[in-house]
Amino acid sequence: MMDVSIILPCMNKSDLLEGGIHQIQLVMNKTNYKYEIIISEDGSTDGTDKIADKLSKKYENVIHLHSDKRLGRGKALSNGIKKAKACIVGFIDPDLQIPFYQILILIEEINKGYDIVNASRTTSKYDLDFRYYINYFLSISYRYFIKILFNLHVSDVLSNCKFFNKTKILPILDKINDHHWFWDTELLVLANKEGLKMKEIPVKFFRKIFQKRKKRFILLKTIIEYFFKTIGLRVRVLFM
């Protein structure tokens, strides 16, 4: 019986995946947990699928979930959670922006009885620039918007590191409509509606700029899209 399942959502991360797997192994091999790593690879075109396949053949506790076409990050995470063999399951990006040793803190909180533990990212003062302050302003605005609409007391809804009690979270997954980045918001809102026990833990976050993957979440199109999806979710919750 597995104790912990760790999901790495991957789409075109050929330069990060192997190092991420190695870092998780360094952390988890020092514990008594029996664990598995699930690479939920989502329609990659840069060779990530080949690297994931190689790693799954090299390590018996590494599983590769492959999709020929892009399903979306949220769908890839749902598939990984459903595939997981452990009662504790979580995900983290393989890019090392959140040091992997911090997942042990989240796992311990699930062991204490929480159903969901969310990592709240805190950034070093030496890692700040103009883009940080824009993203910070948008993040704060989104947090209060979510709090007002849903009474959800989570400061980092879009965090890329969360851990769950699998038994409690499985019924929520089939209620989630979005298959992409709004997946996190739906999951937390619906879990809160169902009365799941949640906790948020601050973790260190080292922001990195990847030239090959420019994340432009501050685009007006994305802001408008999130606004309407959030309003739509509010309407759904009202009639649940």
CATH number at residue 69: 3.90.550.10
| pLDDT of the residue at 41 | 94
122: pLDDT strictly greater than 50:
yes
User: For the chain, what is the mean pLDDT?
Assistant: 89
Instruction: Render 88-133 in DSSP notation, one character per residue.
Output: EEEEE-TTSSS-GGGHHHHHHHHHTT-SEEEEEEEE-GGG--HHHH
- How many helices and strands in the chain, by DSSP H and E? 8, 7
| pLDDT of the residue at 131 | 59
| pLDDT of the residue at 123 | 56
Domain count, the chain: 1
Res. 46 pLDDT band, cuts 50 70 90:
very high
Residue 227's H or E segment, with its range, is helix 220-238
| pLDDT of the residue at 98 | 87
39: pLDDT strictly greater than 70:
yes
Domain assignment of residue 154, given as a range: 4-238
pLDDT in tens, 49-90: 999 999 999 999 999 999 999 999 999 999 999 999 999 999
- Rounded to whole angstroms, the Cα distance separating 129 from 103 reads 27
